[in-house]
Chains A and B, each alone.
Chain A
Amino acid sequence: MEKEKNKTFVDKLWDSLASIKLAIIIFAVLALTSIVGTVIEQNADPERNIKLLAKLFGASAAPSLFRIFDSLGFMDMYHSWWFITILLLFSANLVICSIERLPKILKLVKEPVKPLPEERFKGFGIQRELTVKGNPEKAKGTVMRAVKSSLGFQLAETKEGHGYQLYSQKGNYTRLGVYVTHFSILVILVGAVVGIFFGFKGFLNLPEGRTYSVAFSRGHHMTDTAEFERIVDAVDASSGNLTNAAKTLSMDVATLKAKMRSFGIQPLDFGIRCDEFSVDFYENTDMPKAYKSRLAVIKNGKVVLNKVIEVNNPLTYDGVTFYQSSFGFSGGIENAVFRFRLASKDGRAEDLNLRYGGSFTIPGTDITGKIEDFSPALGIDEQTGRPFTYAQQMNNPAVYVNFFEKGSRKYGGWLLKRYPATWKLPDGNIVAFNGVWGMQYTGLQVRKDPGVWIVYFGCITMAVGLFVAFFMSHRKLWIRLVEEKNTTRVIIGASANKNRHAFERKIDKLLSALGSDKTGGK
Chain B
Amino acid sequence: MDSSTLFGISTMAYILAMITYITYLAFRKSPIGITATTITIIGFVAQTFAIGARWIEFKDIGQMGWLRAAPFTNLYESLVFFVWCLILGYLIIEFKYRNRSFGAFVTPIAGLALAFIDLTGVQKGIQPLVPALQSNWLLAHVLMSFIAYSTFALAFSTGLMYLIMKTEKRSEAAYIFWTVTTGIFIVILAAMGLDYLKFKLLIKSPDVLIKSYLFKASFFSPSGAVSVVSWIGAAVFVYLVWRYGGALKKVVGSFSLSSETLDEITYKSIAIGFPIFTLGGLIFGAIWADQAWGVYWSWDPKETWSLITWFAYAFYLHSRLLRGWRGKKTAIVAVLGFVMVIFTYLGVNLLLSGLHSYGGME
Interface centre among B131, B134, B295 (most CB of A within 10 A): B131
Residue A255 CB within 8 A of the other chain: no
Contact A323 B293, beta carbon cutoff 8 Å: yes
For the complex, give the distance between the alpha carbons of A422 and B256 in Å: 73
Contact A447 B278, beta carbon cutoff 8 Å: no
Name the residue on A nearest B286 (C-beta): A459
Contact A470 B297, beta carbon cutoff 8 Å: no
Name the residue on B nearest A34 (C-beta): B304
Q: How far is the CB of A81 from chain B (nearest CB, A)?
A: 16
For the complex, give the distance between the alpha carbons of A123 and B312 in Å: 35
Contacts A27-B311, A38-B352 given; indicate if A455 touches B296 (C-beta within 8 A): yes
Name the residue on B nearest A463 (C-beta): B279
Contact A445 B293, beta carbon cutoff 8 Å: yes
For the complex, give the distance between the alpha carbons of A313 and B39 in Å: 46
Please indicate the chain A residues that have their CB under 8 angstroms from the CB of B318 in the complex: 20, 23-24
For the complex, give the distance between the alpha carbons of A452 and B130 in Å: 26
Please indicate the chain B residues that have their CB under 8 angstroms from the CB of A86 in the complex: none
Residue A432 CB within 8 A of the other chain: no
Contact B305 A38, beta carbon cutoff 8 Å: yes
Report the contact-size class of chain A (Cβ under 8 Å from the partner).
35 or more
Name the residue on A nearest B299 (C-beta): A78
Residue A288 CB within 8 A of the other chain: yes
Contact A288 B130, beta carbon cutoff 8 Å: yes
Residue A193 CB within 8 A of the other chain: no
For the complex, give the distance between the alpha carbons of A137 and B340 in Å: 60
* Residue-wise interface mask of A (305-339) relative to B, using a CB-CB cutoff of 8 A (1 in contact, 0 not): 00000111110000001011100000000000000
* Residue-wise interface mask of A (127-138) relative to B, using a CB-CB cutoff of 8 A (1 in contact, 0 not): 000000000000
Name the residue on A nearest B278 (C-beta): A466
Contact B287 A201, beta carbon cutoff 8 Å: no
Task: Please count how many residues in chain B sit with their CB below 8 Å of the partner chain's CB atoms.
Answer: 44
For the complex, give the distance between the alpha carbons of A469 and B314 in Å: 13
Contact A201 B128, beta carbon cutoff 8 Å: no
Contact B294 A325, beta carbon cutoff 8 Å: yes
Q: How far is the CB of A25 from chain B (nearest CB, A)?
A: 11
Contact B294 A289, beta carbon cutoff 8 Å: no
Contacts A192-B297, A463-B279 given; indicate if A291 touches B315 (C-beta within 8 A): no
Residue B34 CB within 8 A of the other chain: no
Please indicate the chain A residues that have their CB under 8 angstroms from the CB of B301 in the complex: 38
For the complex, give the distance between the alpha carbons of A41 and B348 in Å: 13
Contact A310 B131, beta carbon cutoff 8 Å: yes
Checking A31, A39, A466 against B275 with a beta-carbon cut-off of 8 angstroms, the contacting residue is: A466
Contact B353 A41, beta carbon cutoff 8 Å: yes
Contact A312 B279, beta carbon cutoff 8 Å: no
Please indicate the chain B residues that have their CB under 8 angstroms from the CB of A282 in the complex: 62-63, 128
For the complex, give the distance between the alpha carbons of A20 and B318 in Å: 9
Residue A73 CB within 8 A of the other chain: no
For the complex, give the distance between the alpha carbons of A42 and B300 in Å: 9
Residue A37 CB within 8 A of the other chain: yes
Please indicate the chain A residues that have their CB under 8 angstroms from the CB of B354 in the complex: 38
Q: How far is the CB of B263 from chain A (nearest CB, A)?
A: 14
Contact A312 B291, beta carbon cutoff 8 Å: yes
Contact B294 A314, beta carbon cutoff 8 Å: yes
Contact B283 A287, beta carbon cutoff 8 Å: no
Please indicate the chain A residues that have their CB under 8 angstroms from the CB of B295 in the complex: 201, 447
* Residue-wise interface mask of B (269-287) relative to A, using a CB-CB cutoff of 8 A (1 in contact, 0 not): 0011011001100010011
Please indicate the chain A residues that have their CB under 8 angstroms from the CB of B286 in the complex: 455, 459
Contact B304 A37, beta carbon cutoff 8 Å: yes
Please indicate the chain A residues that have their CB under 8 angstroms from the CB of B283 in the complex: 459, 462-463
Please indicate the chain B residues that have their CB under 8 angstroms from the CB of A469 in the complex: 275
Please indicate the chain B residues that have their CB under 8 angstroms from the CB of A38 in the complex: 301, 304-305, 348, 352, 354
Please indicate the chain A residues that have their CB under 8 angstroms from the CB of B297 in the complex: 192
Please indicate the chain B residues that have their CB under 8 angstroms from the CB of A323 in the complex: 292-294
Name the residue on A nearest B129 (C-beta): A289
Checking A34, A312, A459, A470 against B135 with a beta-carbon cut-off of 8 angstroms, the contacting residue is: A312
Residue A226 CB within 8 A of the other chain: no
For the complex, give the distance between the alpha carbons of A30 and B287 in Å: 23
Among A468-515, those with CB < 8 Å from B are 469-471
For the complex, give the distance between the alpha carbons of A423 and B69 in Å: 34
Among A451-468, those with CB < 8 Å from B are 452, 455-456, 459, 462-463, 466-467
Residue A13 CB within 8 A of the other chain: no
Q: How far is the CB of A489 from chain B (nearest CB, A)?
A: 32
Residue B308 CB within 8 A of the other chain: yes
Checking A325, A462, A471 against B293 with a beta-carbon cut-off of 8 angstroms, the contacting residue is: A325
Contact B287 A456, beta carbon cutoff 8 Å: yes
Residue A106 CB within 8 A of the other chain: no
Contact A290 B294, beta carbon cutoff 8 Å: no
Residue B201 CB within 8 A of the other chain: no
Contact B296 A467, beta carbon cutoff 8 Å: no
Residue A35 CB within 8 A of the other chain: yes
Among B292-337, those with CB < 8 Å from A are 292-297, 299, 301, 304-305, 307-308, 311-312, 314-315, 318-319, 322-323
Residue B260 CB within 8 A of the other chain: no
Among A38-65, those with CB < 8 Å from B are 38-39, 41-42
Residue B118 CB within 8 A of the other chain: no
Contact A39 B315, beta carbon cutoff 8 Å: no
* Residue-wise interface mask of B (164-196) relative to A, using a CB-CB cutoff of 8 A (1 in contact, 0 not): 000000000000000000000000000000000
For the complex, give the distance between the alpha carbons of A467 and B271 in Å: 10
Contact A466 B304, beta carbon cutoff 8 Å: no
Please indicate the chain B residues that have their CB under 8 angstroms from the CB of A20 in the complex: 318, 322-323
Please indicate the chain A residues that have their CB under 8 angstroms from the CB of B26 in the complex: none
Contact B308 A311, beta carbon cutoff 8 Å: no
Among B239-293, those with CB < 8 Å from A are 271-272, 274-275, 278-279, 283, 286-287, 290-293
Q: How far is the CB of A189 from chain B (nearest CB, A)?
A: 11
For the complex, give the distance between the alpha carbons of A365 and B329 in Å: 88
Checking B132, B290, B299 against A311 with a beta-carbon cut-off of 8 angstroms, the contacting residue is: B132
Contact B311 A30, beta carbon cutoff 8 Å: yes
20 contacts between A and B (CB under 8 A): A27-B315, A30-B311, A31-B308, A37-B304, A38-B348, A201-B295, A282-B62, A282-B63, A285-B128, A287-B128, A291-B131, A311-B134, A312-B291, A324-B131, A455-B296, A459-B286, A462-B278, A466-B279, A470-B271, A470-B272
Beyond the given A35-B304, A312-B131, A314-B291, please list 9 additional residue pairs across the A-B interface where CB-CB is below 8 A.
Answer: A27-B314, A201-B295, A310-B134, A311-B131, A313-B291, A321-B294, A447-B294, A462-B279, A462-B283
Question: When A and B form their complex, which 9 residue pairs have the shortest distance between CB atoms, in order from nearest?
Answer: A323-B294, A38-B301, A466-B275, A311-B131, A445-B294, A78-B299, A447-B294, A312-B135, A459-B283
